[in-house]
Amino acid sequence: MFNLTAVDWLIMLLYFGFVVGIGFALKPKMKTSKDFFQAGRALPAWICGLAFISANLGAQEVIGMGASGAKYGLETAQFYGIGAISAMIFVGIFMMPFYYGSKARSVPEFLRLRFDEKTRAVNACSFAAMTVFSSGISMYAMARLMQALHVFDGLFRAQGWAPEGIFTFSIVLSAAIVLAYIFMGGLASAIYNEVLQFFLIIAGFLPLVLLGLRNVGGWSGLKASVPAAYMHEWKGVAHASTNPMGVEIVGLGMGLGFVLAYGYWCTDFLVIQTAMASKNMESARRVPLIAAVPKMFFPFLVVVPGLLAISLPTPHSTTVTRVEKGAIIHEITVVTPEVEQGRGLVPAKINPVTGKPMLTASGEPLLDYDMATPNLLLHFFPTGILGLGLTALLASFMSGMANNVTAFNTVFTYDLYQSYIYKGGSDRHYMAVGRCATVGGILLSIGTAYAAINFNNIMDTLQLVFSFVNAPLFATFLLGMFWKRATGHGAFSGLIAGTATAMLHHGLTLPIEARPGIHGGWIAVLYHYPSDMAQNFWTAIFAFWVNFIVTVAVSYCTKARPEAELVGLVHSLTPRPEHAHQVWWKRPEALAVAILLAVIALNIFFY
């Protein structure tokens, strides 16, 4: 169908070369475990800031946002508006002083300092599992994409290899590169490469969006080619039936805005580790705020391609008959059923056994929204810049993996190995363990990659995993940092209860267009939600509140910790950071207010 030429390969190899090269350059600087796991705590704010947002530019953003844009429209951008940005402001201003100030080396370690050992254990285990899942999903998504785009077909044909090996080849290739640079340079490597990836994504996607918009006739042209509801962020959000996502404002506000977004940005070590690598407290607080600025504009780069993909006309098989020099000529253009039954550039999913499109419970063809952005790339980019676009995609996948691996190796080494297996080792010993954990983590991810099938939107999968683990978590941190009466027993019970609630809720409810199984309803179906997303949001809401209530109740029944032990860990017992010497507009708070105003303005514009 389509071939990459030498130019495309050249650009891709250039990127791989630089990525591994940065690892080599950092290797000699890895002298202590602090260098390896925490980048020496010596990085400037702008690097950490861009890495902070890049940590969230893996598979779920680039492909998933495009898929959500195609499926739900601009409402997807709400992830940015009410969710991410307010959460990022909150973590920068209010939570970073505790994370950074406590000198904890990981988020689970912070839980040990604030609460107790068993709370840390619960978090460490669930987090470690989650990182492996996420990394595996990234790998799987990338490999499937390489298969679907047929980018390696030419290479395989030329070498005489079986095409079935493309999936494995993609996985092994990406795993090898990530393993190389993380093994050598640790967190610093991951962070530096993320900054590189940040610019690469802009370089790859900005021309795509510009071309796509120009083709469809600008913004007003786009408005005319997609359903009206898709172009509005807030209209129709009062009731579930009036917006494409099927979520009403309470579900959206609480579930998405508050619980899921805050759960992710405020407690996920994956993201927090980039801020904790800063060189001082000042920088650490500014990191999430710096990250919030490009975050506001990224919907333009990653959601709009999804809209553009469905704005294009759906190809159909056509027959053109004409007469030429006395002969009747039929020109038949055949389009495969998966493309024809799709919508715009988004194909339908084909059942490999029957060859017919798979159907949703309502009889509509099930669409493969994940292909929205990649197909758009192939549609508009000629060879040359196509290499750049594909490299940007690859970069986002690989960095998604890399972050998970660095978070995994830190949590494994400090929170699992050092705490429970072998306490008194030397620094060199733990560095070696960290490197082994890197290898182990990647191998586990590869295993997961071979198991991640069944969702037509990567975002839904990730949101599900996150909602089980993160939603209850945020309640624990909130109470831990702002309520000195919260105790270890309370936190522990709350976490268990919250996670159990999440699983229970998922087992008892089902989205309308799905069958019981991985989409829910595996205990019994008591309630139907209009969409996957709505179910996810409400799972998060229930998990959060159950955790909150249980933690408060159990804390009151158990002995409080002496206040002296909690200094620097709880808001009311920590001295305010000194800002008197700074001009008012340089303080983090001023930056936060400016960002909030900008976000409100954007949301009004896209109402």
Partner 1 sequence: MDLDLRTPIGLMFALAGAILTAFGLRTDGNAALYARSLGINVNLWWGLVLVAFGLTMFLFGQRGQMRIEKERLLPQGKRGSAEGKLNKAAS
Burial class from Cβ neighbours inside 10 Å (0-12, 13-18, 19+) for residue 328 reads exposed
> What is the rounded distance in angstroms from the CA atom of residue 420 to the CA atom of residue 225?
59
Please check whether residue 212 is in contact with residue 373, taking contact to mean a CB–CB distance below 8 angstroms. no
Does residue 589 bind partner 1 (CB under 8 A)?
no
Per CB under 8 A, which of residues 530..569 are in contact with partner 1? none
Does residue 573 bind partner 1 (CB under 8 A)?
no
Of 15 and 234, which has the nearer Cβ to partner 1? 15
Among 176, 224, 238, 281, binds partner 1 (CB under 8 A): 281
Lookup: tokens for 381:
């980019």
Of 324 and 578, which has the nearer Cβ to partner 1? 578
Of 139 and 569, which has the nearer Cβ to partner 1? 569
Please give the full DSSP string across 30-81, using - where no structure is assigned: --SHHHHHHGGG-B-HHHHHHHHHHTT-SHHHHHHHHHHHHHHGGGGGHIII
**Binding residue count for partner 1, defined by CB under 8 A:** 41
Lookup: tokens for 314:
């759906």
Of 14 and 525, which has the nearer Cβ to partner 1? 14
Minimum CB distance to partner 1, residue 193 (Å): 10
Please check whether residue 81 is in contact with residue 233, taking contact to mean a CB–CB distance below 8 angstroms. yes
Tokens 């990234």 locate to: 138
Of 206 and 224, which has the nearer Cβ to partner 1? 206
> What is the rounded distance in angstroms from the CA atom of residue 140 to the CA atom of residue 447?
10
Among 7, 173, 496, 552, binds partner 1 (CB under 8 A): 7
Does residue 581 bind partner 1 (CB under 8 A)?
yes
Per CB under 8 A, which of residues 9..38 are in contact with partner 1? 10-11, 14-15, 18, 21-22, 25-26, 29
Does residue 43 bind partner 1 (CB under 8 A)?
yes
Which residue in 300, 296, 464, 302 sits closest to 372, CA to CA? 302
Of 196 and 475, which has the nearer Cβ to partner 1? 196
Question: Could you say which DSSP state residue 365 is in?
Answer: B
Of 101 and 236, which has the nearer Cβ to partner 1? 101
Question: What is the three-class DSSP state of 205?
Answer: helix
Among 153, 282, 340, 589, binds partner 1 (CB under 8 A): 282
Of 101 and 337, which has the nearer Cβ to partner 1? 101
Per CB under 8 A, which of residues 363..392 are in contact with partner 1? 379-385, 388
Cross-strand pairs, 365: 359
> What is the rounded distance in angstroms from the CA atom of residue 335 to the CA atom of residue 316?
6
Per CB under 8 A, which of residues 199..228 are in contact with partner 1? 199, 203, 207, 211, 214-215
Minimum CB distance to partner 1, residue 284 (Å): 9
Of 10 and 238, which has the nearer Cβ to partner 1? 10
Site string (178-197) toward partner 1, x via CB under 8 A: ----------x---x--xx-
Does residue 500 bind partner 1 (CB under 8 A)?
no
Please give the full DSSP string across 331-361, using - where no structure is assigned: EEE---HHHHTSBTTBPBPBPTTT-SBPB-T
Minimum CB distance to partner 1, residue 577 (Å): 5
Q: How far is CA 67 from CA 11, 179, 306, 560, in A?
A: 26, 29, 6, 48
Tokens 């978070």 locate to: 407
* Binding region for partner 1 (CB under 8 A): 7, 10-11, 14-15, 18, 21-22, 25-26, 29, 39-40, 42-43, 47, 101, 188, 192, 195-196, 199, 203, 207, 211, 214-215, 280-282, 379-385, 388, 577-578, 581
